[in-house]
């Protein structure tokens, strides 16, 4: 009985645990945090086992539960080659960040509210569990309405997180973040409703293919625009440096994942089902993402605050995946999704490193820190590993993803000219500059701190990140772990 409901367990168990934590109102103390981490570990293990099963048998896993007989609503959960890697990585990231949060949030609560506060700690973990549910749900859902539901399920807790535990000016920034993302989600909803009326009254994702003609263009347009706003493409990117710079770093990876989730959504909804309409958007989207890439890279170079730096870099890195997907070639799409997965891992590591630096030294301005490598060697190694993932240096996964994606982009160039492709690949050089230069500034050089004024790195923050880098090395050394699943499920 248990084994047939695995996907449902992945979604429901964190909700149950979260409600339990909320109901006990902080009486669990620190144990509440560990219970939350344990439940997330359990869901990750379920997904890992499903992944291995899918990889060896290559048949998708589909579970369907009826929600309401009256309204004929069904909850369908599909784990196929496209959605399972993403669901797995997101769950793993949530688990890793949950362990990372325990020392971090304790410290943050001490600073913000003065003294230990178990109720706030438990509240954090109760809210946190909804992230896992929402992100995995978006990846696994087969129905447009459930996808929207899970998306909002991720958005609302993140508003509370920023508001309660963020850095300076957090109230205003939480509201700004919420409004921007809600605007994107609203446009997505407009596209959903339009699709409902155009394809004869069904919200199922696979029925999107039935939308014809002129309305296909508008459906595509609204869905695309909604998700692009959430992905902080150039022009709509102004919320991201603030929101990602001022949130508590332990959820940094989650919020970065929300930004990148659009890649999955675009592939699942538009590339797989509405390919003809999407191709019309191909070239403008490629150029737009190129502008984002270059502008994001220069903006990142201009930062001096260590958290805003990695926030701005998310803008640029996301644009790589969009460039790959917009090329509308098999390898471009597959490489784009692989790059997105690899980027999520790398960004989680880098944001967490920034969080550790802030935790250890209480300073965010990079002009004031230097020479940290002697005092925090594991952090320095993690920073270099994370930068290697982003800059596509082997043997980490970024390299394999990047060349696969660029093959797709170059193939498209045969039609549209090579300018886009060359600009794109030379923009990847800027990534190297803006990741390794801060490493030099922060970690190398003469120390600006006395060795006893800096705390020790807590192992619970560092070890999960090393596990993540090991996963990235695994994908880098044997990329077929992901490529096989992605190519089997793509067009």
Partner 1 sequence: MNITDFAPWICWISPLIGALLTLLSRDNTVKGVAASSSVLVSWISALLMVPMVSTNQALNVKSGWIYLPEGEPTSLGMLVDSLSIIMVNIVSFVSFLILVYSTWYMRREDGQTRFWALMSLFTSSMLLLVLADNFILFFIGWKMVGLCSFALIGHYYRDEERYWIGGPPPSPFQKPSTCALKALLVTSFGDVAMLSGIILIFVYSKTFNFVTLLNSSPEWMLKMAQSPGLILASIILLLLGVAGKSAQFPLHIWLPEAMAGPAPVSALIHAATMVKAGVYIVARLFPLYYNTYWIVGIQEARFFFQIVAFLGVATAFLTATEAVTALEIKKILAYSTMSQIGYMMMGLGAAGLSQEATIAGYSGSMLHLLSHALFKAALFMSAGAVIHLTGSIYIHEKSLDKRRTRLIWFFTWVSVLSLIGVPPFSGFWSKDEVLAACLESGQILLFSLGLLTAFVTCLYSIRMMYHVFRVDAKVHDGGGHTHSEEEPVMVAPIGVLSGLSLIIGILGYWFKNLFKEIFHGFLSMSLRLETYPRGEWVESTLIPLSSISVIAIASVASYFYYVKYRADYVNLIVRNPILEKLHKVFWNRWYIDKFYESVFVRSILSVRSGIQGKLETSMDVLLNIGVPGIFSRMSQILRSMQTGLLSVNMLYVLIFLAVMMIFLLVG
- The residue (of 76 and 386) whose beta carbon lies closer to partner 1 is 386
- The residue (of 356 and 404) whose beta carbon lies closer to partner 1 is 404
What is the spatial distance between Cα 326 and Cα 408, in angstroms, rounded to a whole number?
10
Query: Closest approach of Cβ 262 to partner 1, in Å?
Result: 19
Do the beta carbons of residue 344 and residue 468 sit within 8 Å? Answer: no
**241 is an interface residue for partner 1 by CB under 8 A:** yes
**407 is an interface residue for partner 1 by CB under 8 A:** yes
Query: Closest approach of Cβ 37 to partner 1, in Å?
Result: 29
What is the spatial distance between Cα 48 and Cα 94, in angstroms, rounded to a whole number?
14
- Contact residues for 439 (Cβ-Cβ < 8 A; gap 6+): 380, 383, 384, 387
**299 is an interface residue for partner 1 by CB under 8 A:** yes
**349 is an interface residue for partner 1 by CB under 8 A:** no
Q: Which of 106, 313, 428, 472 binds partner 1 (CB under 8 A)?
A: 428
- The residue (of 191 and 335) whose beta carbon lies closer to partner 1 is 335
**425 is an interface residue for partner 1 by CB under 8 A:** yes
**301 is an interface residue for partner 1 by CB under 8 A:** yes
Query: Closest approach of Cβ 339 to partner 1, in Å?
Result: 14
Query: Closest approach of Cβ 446 to partner 1, in Å?
Result: 5
**474 is an interface residue for partner 1 by CB under 8 A:** no
Query: Closest approach of Cβ 150 to partner 1, in Å?
Result: 27
Instruction: Give the x/- contact pattern for partner 1 in 366-405, rule: CB under 8 A.
Output: -----x-xx-------------x--x-xxx---xx-xxx-
**8 is an interface residue for partner 1 by CB under 8 A:** no
What is the spatial distance between Cα 112 and Cα 110, in angstroms, rounded to a whole number?
6
Do the beta carbons of residue 251 and residue 97 sit within 8 Å? Answer: yes
* Residue 42 tokens, joined: 């359990």
**419 is an interface residue for partner 1 by CB under 8 A:** no
**377-390 helix and 459-477 helix, angle to the nearest 10 degrees:** 30
**239 is an interface residue for partner 1 by CB under 8 A:** yes
From the list 67-75, 125-133, 340-348, 416-424, the region that binds partner 1 by CB under 8 A is: 416-424
Query: Closest approach of Cβ 313 to partner 1, in Å?
Result: 14
- The residue (of 455 and 484) whose beta carbon lies closer to partner 1 is 484
Do the beta carbons of residue 244 and residue 314 sit within 8 Å? Answer: yes
Instruction: Give the x/- contact pattern for partner 1 in 13-52, rule: CB under 8 A.
Output: ----------------------------------------
Kind and range of the H or E run holding 219: helix 213-230
What is the spatial distance between Cα 239 and Cα 306, in angstroms, rounded to a whole number?
17
**473 is an interface residue for partner 1 by CB under 8 A:** no
What is the spatial distance between Cα 339 and Cα 289, in angstroms, rounded to a whole number?
15
**432 is an interface residue for partner 1 by CB under 8 A:** yes
**414 is an interface residue for partner 1 by CB under 8 A:** yes
Place of tokens 């993140």: 158
* Residue 451 tokens, joined: 């060795």
**421 is an interface residue for partner 1 by CB under 8 A:** yes
Measured CA angle at 470 (ends 465, 476), to 5 deg = 130
Secondary structure of residue 398 in the 3-state scheme: helix
Query: Closest approach of Cβ 392 to partner 1, in Å?
Result: 8
**418 is an interface residue for partner 1 by CB under 8 A:** yes
**483 is an interface residue for partner 1 by CB under 8 A:** yes
**426 is an interface residue for partner 1 by CB under 8 A:** yes
The alpha carbons of the chain give a radius of gyration, in whole angstroms, of: 21
- Within 157-186, which residues bind partner 1 (CB under 8 A)? 176
**429 is an interface residue for partner 1 by CB under 8 A:** yes
- Within 132-161, which residues bind partner 1 (CB under 8 A)? none
Q: Which of 159, 320, 351, 443 binds partner 1 (CB under 8 A)?
A: 443
The dihedral of CA 15, 17, 21, 24: what is its sign? positive
Residue 79 per-residue DSSP state? E
Secondary structure of residue 365 in the 3-state scheme: strand
Instruction: Give me the DSSP letters along 257-321.
Output: HHHHHHHHHIIIIIIHH-HHHHHHTHHHHHHHHHHHHHHHHHHHHT--BHHHHHHHHHHHHHHHH
**487 is an interface residue for partner 1 by CB under 8 A:** yes
* Residue 388 tokens, joined: 């290697």
Beta strands in 59-129 (DSSP E): 61-68, 73-79
What is the spatial distance between Cα 235 and Cα 315, in angstroms, rounded to a whole number?
11
**397-416 helix and 459-477 helix, angle to the nearest 10 degrees:** 50
Contacting positions for partner 1 (CB under 8 A): 176, 235-236, 238-239, 241-242, 298-299, 301-303, 330-331, 334, 371, 373-374, 388, 391, 393-395, 399-400, 402-404, 406-407, 410-411, 414, 418, 421-422, 425-426, 428-429, 432-433, 436-437, 440, 443-447, 478-480, 483-484, 487
């Amino acid at each position: 009985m248990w084994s047939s409901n695995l996907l449902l367990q992945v979604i429901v168990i964190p909700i149950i645990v979260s409600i339990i934590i909320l109901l006990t109102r902080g009486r669990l103390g620190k144990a509440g945090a560990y219970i939350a981490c344990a439940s997330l570990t359990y869901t990750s293990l379920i997904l890992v086992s499903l992944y291995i099963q899918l990889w060896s048998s290559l048949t998708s896993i589909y579970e369907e539960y009826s929600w309401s007989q009256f309204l004929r609503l069904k909850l369908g959960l599909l784990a196929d080659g496209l959605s399972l890697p993403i669901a797995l990585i997101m769950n793993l990231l949530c688990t890793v960040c949950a362990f990372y949060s325990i020392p971090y949030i304790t410290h943050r609560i001490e600073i913000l509210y003065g003294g230990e506060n178990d109720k706030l700690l438990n509240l954090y973990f109760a809210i946190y569990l909804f992230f896992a549910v929402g992100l995995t749900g978006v990846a696994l859902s087969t129905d447009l309405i459930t996808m929207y539901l899970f998306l909002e399920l991720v958005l609302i807790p993140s508003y509370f997180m920023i508001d309660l535990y963020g850095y300076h000016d957090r109230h205003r920034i939480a509201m700004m973040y919420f409004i921007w993302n809600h605007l994107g989600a609203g446009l997505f909803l407009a596209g959903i409703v339009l699709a409902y009326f155009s394809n004869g009254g069904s919200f199922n994702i696979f029925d999107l293919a039935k939308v014809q003609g002129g309305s296909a263009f508008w459906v595509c347009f609204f869905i695309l625009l909604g998700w692009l706003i959430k992905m902080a493409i150039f022009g709509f990117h102004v919320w991201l440096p603030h929101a990602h710079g001022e949130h508590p770093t332990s959820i940094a990876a989650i919020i970065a994942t929300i930004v990148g989730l659009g890649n999955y959504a675009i592939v699942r909804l538009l590339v797989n089902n509405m390919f003809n309409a999407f191709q019309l958007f191909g070239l403008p989207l490629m150029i737009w993402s190129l502008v984002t890439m270059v502008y994001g890279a220069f903006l990142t170079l201009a930062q001096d605050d260590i958290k805003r730096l990695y926030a701005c870099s998310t803008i640029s890195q996301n644009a790589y995946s969009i460039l790959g997907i917009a090329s509308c070639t098999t390898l471009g799409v597959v490489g784009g999704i692989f790059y997105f997965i690899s980027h999520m891992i790398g960004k989680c590591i880098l944001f967490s490193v920034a969080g550790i630096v802030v935790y250890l030294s209480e300073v965010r301005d990079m002009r004031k820190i230097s020479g940290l490598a002697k005092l925090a060697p594991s952090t320095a190694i993690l920073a270099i590993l994370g930068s290697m993932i982003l800059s596509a240096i082997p043997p980490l996964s970024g390299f394999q993803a990047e060349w696969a994606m660029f093959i797709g982009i170059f193939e498209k160039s045969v039609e549209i000219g090579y300018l886009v492709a060359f600009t794109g690949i030379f923009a990847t050089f800027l990534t190297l500059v803006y990741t390794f230069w801060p490493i030099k500034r922060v970690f190398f050089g003469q120390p600006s701190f006395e060795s006893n004024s800096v705390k020790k790195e807590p192992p619970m923050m560092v070890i999960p990140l090393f596990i993540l880098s090991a996963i990235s090395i695994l994908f880098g050394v044997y990329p077929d772990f992901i490529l096989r699943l992605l190519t089997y499920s793509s067009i």
